[in-house]
């Protein structure tokens, strides 16, 4: 039986060729490659083994698990998985660039319909994840990949996990700081899909401003910048605010009109942004509700993906790096020494990783 599995794994590996390295992180190297039979361009993410207690990082296990389960036009596709020597290789569809590159490239002009299109594709991919009980927990512009046809793909599921009724205990040390919602900054350990929605709001604001909306250097600094931009949350709008584990009282800041920050935004855009960035997580709009917002159904309509701005071919190449090096602003906070052992806070404190370890034993790479 073992020989059959080895033969099958070897045959799968021969279906793909690596051509050139396009990215590298501590735990993974990414290559541009081809499908041998068709010549189709693909990306191969080579994950290095042997640096963790169980042989492979939990980020990699999660990514394999969820990408095998999630198939949607706006979620990056995992084409195959195979092992080779001391590595596991994830074969992914090739993407030309990511949304962060487009935002930073000031030679590209964004029209209102372009922003609508990127937001619509992000929400479609995220709604599919949430409908299937999966939190992404690391949404940010450089985890939103763009194909050469202009289609946006939600990518990097290294911090994703299943969720249910919101009563499960989870670590708050997820989501890159600039895109992390206030309840996680205050240490909440029970949360649901609303944490991803806050990140979407931050991305929406960044698309309109072409710079990050909240760019703090720490959790406390992040809260101060948030309050300065949006005013302080009140107990009337967020009744359980002061019961959160790491709640800190900051100086009160009065509310400011949103149009001071987004002077060119339409009323529908402002309404939707407010729905994403509601302080109270229970009052945030869902991905499904957001897709029904008049913002997407009034002129100018979302630009067709094929007409969206893209960098000149050969620039802005795909970056599918190890999750701990993918990031704008603060990387997600997981102790390096725990990572080396293959343990993150989810395993140690919550048992989040227990289900993942069971998955790891079931994974086959043929």
More confident residue, 223 or 167: 223
Which residues 6+ apart lie within 8 Å of 366 measured at CB? 5, 8, 9, 12, 82
Helix (H, G, I), strand (E, B) or coil at 17: strand
DSSP notation for 171-209: -S--S-GGG--HHHHTT--S--THHHHHHHHHHHHHHHH
- pLDDT at position 165, please? 62
Q: What is the pTM of this model?
A: 0.85
CATH placement of domain 98-307: 1.10.510.10
pLDDT (mean) for 328-335: 39
pLDDT (mean) for 147-157: 95
Helix (H, G, I), strand (E, B) or coil at 169: coil
More confident residue, 82 or 181: 181
- pLDDT at position 318, please? 43
CA atoms lying within 13 Å on the CB side of residue 124: 16
**Tens-place pLDDT, residues 318-331:** 444 444 433 344 44
- The phi and psi torsions of 325 (rounded to 5 degrees) equal -110, -5
pLDDT at 352 over 80: no
Torsion from C-alpha of 274, 279, 282, 287, nearest 10 degrees = 40
Return the active site residues.
138
Percent above pLDDT 90 for the chain: 61
Residue 46 pLDDT class (50, 70, 90 cuts): confident
Which residues 6+ apart lie within 8 Å of 321 measured at CB? 23, 24, 25, 28, 30
Are the C-beta atoms of residues 301 and 116 closer than 8 Å to each other?
Answer: yes
pLDDT (mean) for 8-17: 74
Query: Please, what is the average pLDDT of the chain?
Result: 83
Distances (CA, A) of 260 to 229, 257, 275, 343, 361: 9, 6, 18, 44, 53
Residue 35 pLDDT class (50, 70, 90 cuts): confident
pLDDT at 57 over 90: no
- pLDDT at position 334, please? 37
pLDDT at 32 over 50: yes
More confident residue, 309 or 166: 309
pLDDT (mean) for 288-305: 96
pLDDT (mean) for 201-226: 95
More confident residue, 353 or 37: 37
Residue 145 bridge partners (DSSP): 98, 153
Residue 356 pLDDT class (50, 70, 90 cuts): very low
Quickly count: other Cβ atoms within 10 Å of residue 298's Cβ.
11
pLDDT at 340 over 70: no
Looking only at the bridges linking them, the beta strands covering 97-98 and 144-146 are antiparallel
pLDDT (mean) for 76-100: 89
Closest Cα to residue 177, out of 199, 207, 208? 199
pLDDT at 362 over 70: no
- How far is it, in rounded angstroms, from Cα 23 to Cα 171? 29
Helix (H, G, I), strand (E, B) or coil at 29: strand
Q: Which of 95-104, 303-312, 342-351 has the lowest mean pLDDT?
A: 342-351
User: Which two structure tokens, joined as six digits, stand for 103?
Assistant: 């935002």
pLDDT at 247 over 70: yes
């Amino acid at each position: 039986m073992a020989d059959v599995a080895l033969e099958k794994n070897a045959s799968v590996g021969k279906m793909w060729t690596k051509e050139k390295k396009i990215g590298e992180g501590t735990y993974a190297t990414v290559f541009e490659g081809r499908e041998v039979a068709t010549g189709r361009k693909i990306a191969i993410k080579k994950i290095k083994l042997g640096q963790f207690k169980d042989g492979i990082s939990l980020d990699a296990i999660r990514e394999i698990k969820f990408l095998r389960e999630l198939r949607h036009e706006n979620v990056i596709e995992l084409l195959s998985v195979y092992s080779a020597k001391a590595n596991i290789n994830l074969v992914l569809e090739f993407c030309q660039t990511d949304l962060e590159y487009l935002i930073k490239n000031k030679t590209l002009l964004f029209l209102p319909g372009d922003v609508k299109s990127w937001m619509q594709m992000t929400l479609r991919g995220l709604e599919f994840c949430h409908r299937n009980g999966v939190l992404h927990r690391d949404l940010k512009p450089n985890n939103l990949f763009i194909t050469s046809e202009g289609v946006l793909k939600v990518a990097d599921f290294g911090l994703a996990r299943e969720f249910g009724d919101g009563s499960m205990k989870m670590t708050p040390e997820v989501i890159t700081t600039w895109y992390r919602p206030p309840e996680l900054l205050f240490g909440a350990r029970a949360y649901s899909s609303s944490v991803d929605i806050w990140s979407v709001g931050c991305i929406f604001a960044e698309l309109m401003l072409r710079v990050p909306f909240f760019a703090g250097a720490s959790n406390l600094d992040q809260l101060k910048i948030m309050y300065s931009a949006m005013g302080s949350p009140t107990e009337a709008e967020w009744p359980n605010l002061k019961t959160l584990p790491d709640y800190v009282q900051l100086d009160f800041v009065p509310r400011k009109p949103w149009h001071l920050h987004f002077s060119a935004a339409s009323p529908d855009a402002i309404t939707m942004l407010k729905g994403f960035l509601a302080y109270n997580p229970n009052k945030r709009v869902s991905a499904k509700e957001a897709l029904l917002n008049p913002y997407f159904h009034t002129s100018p309509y979302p630009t067709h993906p094929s007409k969206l701005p893209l960098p000149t071919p050969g620039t802005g190449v795909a970056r599918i790096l190890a999750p701990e090096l993918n990031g704008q602003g603060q990387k997600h906070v997981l102790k390096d020494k725990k990572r080396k052992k293959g343990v993150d806070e989810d395993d140690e404190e919550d048992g989040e990783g227990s289900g993942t370890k069971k998955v790891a034993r079931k994974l086959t790479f043929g």
